Structure 1
Amino acid sequence: MTHLDVEQLRAQFPALQQQVNGQTPVFFDGPGGAQVSQQVLDAMTAYLGRYNANLGGAYFSSHKTTELMADARQAGADFYNAGSAEEIIFGANATTLTFSFSRVIARDWQPGDEIIVTALDHYSNVSPWVLAAEEKGVVVHQVQVNEADCTLDYDHLQRLISSKTRLVACTYASNTTGSIVDMRRVIRAVKAGSDALVYIDAVHYAPHQLIDVQALGCDFLVTSAYKYFGPHLGVLFARQAVLEQLRPYKVAPAKDINPNRWETGTQNYEALAGFIAAVDYLASLAGDVRLSRREQLTESYRKIVRHEQMLSAQFLSRLSAYPQVRIFGIKDVAACDARTPTFAFRIHNTEPRAVSEFFGANHVCIWDGNFYAQGLYEQLGLTDGGVIRVGCMHYNTAAETEAFFVLLDQFFALQS
C-alpha cells in the first residue's frame, strides 16, 4: 500500500474515538501536542506497573530498566538516523535540554564572539542562547524572515556569518506558519563561513518530515516526543565528536561517560517506554515488517508527506476564497512541499481568541496566540493577540477540514 490507511490508523488513537457532548472532537491542535496511540499508553503502563526501578541494580526490574534505556537510545538513533545510539540524550523536553546545553556550549565563549538566532524560531531556541550570550558578553544577531511568505531570509543569514560566529541556532520548521527551512543550505553556509556549531530545533518538523542528521551534517538536533505521538520527553542528537570536546555540569559521583553524563538525575523511564512505542508506531505505517526500523520510517514518512500535502492543498485552496482572511506563510498550493500543514491567519476586525472560542465550543480544537515565536510576531507587527493557528497531523482527514469550513461559514454568518 502506497498511501496511509487513515481510518485504520485513527482507530489506534483513543482520543479520536471519544465523544464529547455527543460529538466526535476534531483535533487541529497538533502543533501544540499530538494525540497518542494505544500502544504508547500500553507501553508506559506496562513498564511503570511492573518494572519501575533505577539503573545499576542487581535484580530483574533494574535489568529491565537498563535494557529499556538501551532500546530507547537505539529507537532515537533510528528516528534521527544517528551514526550511533551513544549520540542520543534524553531530558524533560526540548526547552530544558536546550537551556542545559546552552550553558555547556557557552562555557568557552569570549567577549566579542558572535552567535546567530532567527526570528522564525520558537523562543525555546532563542532565549537560552541570548541569556548565555549576555553572561559572556557575546554579540547576538537575529536572522529576519521574508514577510511575504514567512520563510527564512537566507541572504540575511549569509551576511551575518563570519569568523567570529560560534553558534547558529535555527528551527527546521516554524511552529506558527509551517514554513520549512532548507537546513542543508543553512548548514553549508555556516560551515563554509565559520567554525560555528549548528543547533537545530526540529520539534515542529518531526511529525511531518523524515529527519536525517547524518545527511544534514548538524552538530545538535532536538525534538519533543509529545509532538510526534509520544509522551512528554526531550530527545537530543549530539554529534559524538562535539560531545567529547564539551564538559558537562554533573554530580560528582555520576559516571563521566557519554551520553550518560549529560542526563542529570533519574530519567523518566516510563516516558522512554512510550517513546519507543511512538517510534515503532510511526514505523508500522510502512506496512512492511521485512524492512529495518529506519527503512520502515523512511517509507512511513513518504506516506505521511503525501497525505499531509493533500490536506495542505485542500486547506489553502478553501481558505483563499475568504477575502477577509489574511494568511501568514506560504500560500501557494503548488508549494505545499515547502511547508507543514500548519496554518496561521487573521480575520479582519476579529480577535483571534474569539475565533478559537467559537470553534472550541463546537469541539474543534484550534489555537490562538503567539506560540512563543516572539521574533516573528514582532517583525510582522502581530503583538496584539497573535494569530489563529490550525495544525493538521497525519491522522486528520479531508472530511474534518471540510467540517472546519462549515463552522467558519457559521462564524461569519454570526458576525454579519
Structure 2
Amino acid sequence: MTFDLSALRKQFPSLDSGIAHFDGPGGSQTPRPVADAVASALCGPLSNRGDGVASERNATGFVEAFRAAAADLLGSSPLGIVHGRSATQLTLDFARHLEKTWSPGDEVVVTRLDHDANIRPWVLAAERAGATVRWAEFDPATAELDIAALAGIIGPRTRLVAVTAASNLLGTMPPVARVAELAHAHGALLYVDGVHYTAHHAVDVRELGADFFVCSPYKFMGPHCGVLAADPALLDSLVPDKLLPSTDDVPERFEFGTLPYEQLAGVTAAVDFLAAVAPGEGRTRRERLVSSMAAMAAHEDVLRDLVQDGLTSLGPAITLHSRAAHRTPTLFLTIEGRRTWDAYRHLAAADVLAPAGSFYAIEAFRALGLDDENGLRVGLAPYNDAAEVHRLIDGVAEFLRST
C-alpha cells in the first residue's frame, strides 16, 4: 500500500477548519481514531487495575497495550517504557534520579542545539550534585553540531551526555549513534531527546545507542503526554523517591500515582494509526510502522523542498537558518528589516499557522544571534499538502510587499 494523502487528510476533523497547519513541531492535529479511543476509554467501564471485573481488566489492558505499542514504535522492550505527563517532566524526573549517582568533579555534557527541556534539567541536576557542565556547540552557519569538538569534551569524568535526535528549531539531525560511541567509550550514559525526531522517522533506540530516549505522543497524532524508553536493567539500577506502598517493579516505580488510562489508550491508537498509513508488506506492527514512517518522511521531504524553493525565490530578505545536511521537514527563517512576529500575524489572518519565537530552544536561538523579535518556524506534518505550501509562500510574499 502506498501513501494516500487524500485518505490520510480525511482522518483529521480539524482540517475541515481550513487552517493550514505548519505548527507540527509544536504538536500535531489529532485523527479521529485517536479521539475515539480516548473517549471510549473514558466512557468505560473503567476503574483502577485488577482482574475481578471488566472495568479493572480494561485498565490493566490499557497499560499493557500502551507499553507494547510504544515499544514497537521505538524499537524497545515493553518493560522499559515509562509514561509521564510530558517529555519535560520525564527528563526533570530522571535528572533527579541520576544525580544521586554523581559526585563533585563529575561532568555532564549538554549541547546548544537542544530544546531547553534537554538542557536545564541536567544543568540544575549538575548544580545540586556539584558536577561540572560542559557545553557542546553547533555552527550557526551550517546548523550542524560540532562532533569533533564534542569528542574533545567527553572524558573519563563524564557521567551523562544529553543530545537531541533532531532540533525542534532548526531540524538538524545530529549523528546520535556516533555521539553514543563517544559517550560509551568513557562509560557515560546517553540521554536522547527524540521529541521532534519521532514525529518524522522510525526510531530504533538500540541502533541509536540511546540509554534513555524520550518522546511526546502529541507530536505524532497522539494525546498530550510523554514516553521514555530505556533498558529495563538500567531502570532497575535507579532508585526514585516514591510513596511507601508504591510498587518497586520496573517500569512502574517511575510512574507516580494512578495512570491516565485514557491517555494510554490514545497513545496505542496513535501508534496503530501510524502503522496503517502505508504498511507495505509488513507483517508485524513494527514492520508496518517502519514502512509507514518512511513513506510519510518521503512525502514531507518533497514538501520541505517546495517550501525552501518557494521562500528562496522571494529574494535575499529571507534567511533560512535550517541548513544541515540531515534534517527534518522544519525550516527556521528570519526576514531582514521585519519582525517575524508580524509575519506570523499576517499569515494567521489568512488561516496559515506558522508561529514565531524561540520555541524553548533558547540556547540555539541565542547562538544564532537573534532576539525575541525574530524567528519564524515552518514545520511540516504528514497531512500537509502542496496547496497549503503555496498558501504559505503566497502569504509570505504578500507580507514582504506590505508596509
* TMscore range, shorter length: over 0.9
C-alpha offsets along residues 224-265 of structure 1, whole Å, 9 cap, x if unaligned?
A: 110001000110001122112111211110111101111001
The answer (yes or no) to whether the contact 1:319–1:325 under 8 Å persists in 2 is yes
Partner of 2:248: 256
Match of 1:94 among 69, 74, 87: 87
SS of the residue aligned with 2:197? coil
Partner of 2:308: 316
SS of the residue aligned with 1:409? helix
Match of 1:48 among 42, 46, 53: 42
Partner of 2:4: 5
Query: Aligned letter for 1:390?
Result: V
Is 1:120–2:113 an aligned residue pair?
yes
SS of the residue aligned with 2:170? coil
Deviation at 1:52, TM superposition (A): 2.9
Query: Aligned letter for 1:45?
Result: A
Partner of 1:398: 386
**Matched residues, percent identical?**
40
Is 1:165–2:164 an aligned residue pair?
no
TM-score (norm 1): 0.94
1:219-230 to 2 correspondences below 5 Å? 219-230=211-222
The answer (yes or no) to whether the contact 2:41–2:262 under 8 Å persists in 1 is yes
Quote the Cα distance in structure 2 between the aligned partners of 1:108 and 1:220: 16
C-alpha offsets along residues 186-232 of structure 1, whole Å, 9 cap, x if unaligned?
A: 1112112x111100000001110110012122110000110001000
SS of the residue aligned with 1:78? helix
Unaligned ranges ≥5, structure 1: 19-23
Deviation at 1:288, TM superposition (A): 4.7
Is 1:370–2:358 an aligned residue pair?
yes
TM-score (norm 2): 0.97
Partner of 1:265: 257
Deviation at 1:274, TM superposition (A): 0.5
Quote the Cα distance in structure 2 between the aligned partners of 1:412 and 1:259: 52
Partner of 1:383: 371
Query: Aligned letter for 1:162?
Result: G
C-alpha offsets along residues 295-350 of structure 1, whole Å, 9 cap, x if unaligned?
A: 0001101101111111111111121222100111217xxx4xx1111110000111
Match of 1:307 among 279, 299, 302: 299
Partner of 1:14: 13
Give the ranges of 4+ consecutive aligned residues of structure 1 lying more than 6 Å apart after TM superposition: none
The answer (yes or no) to whether the contact 1:222–1:234 under 8 Å persists in 2 is yes
The answer (yes or no) to whether the contact 2:347–2:395 under 8 Å persists in 1 is yes
SS of the residue aligned with 2:203? coil
The answer (yes or no) to whether the contact 1:151–1:329 under 8 Å persists in 2 is no
Deviation at 1:28, TM superposition (A): 0.6
The CA RMSD measured in Å over matched residues stands at 1.3
Deviation at 1:385, TM superposition (A): 2.6
Partner of 1:21: none
Match of 1:147 among 126, 140, 144: 140
Partner of 1:81: 75
Query: Aligned letter for 1:143?
Result: A
1:208-219 to 2 correspondences below 5 Å? 208-219=200-211
Partner of 1:245: 237
The answer (yes or no) to whether the contact 2:341–2:374 under 8 Å persists in 1 is no
Deviation at 1:290, TM superposition (A): 5.9
Deviation at 1:401, TM superposition (A): 0.7
Quote the Cα distance in structure 2 between the aligned partners of 1:288 and 1:344: 33
Match of 1:361 among 339, 346, 349: 349
The count of corresponding residues between Structure 1 and Structure 2 is 402
Partner of 2:184: 191
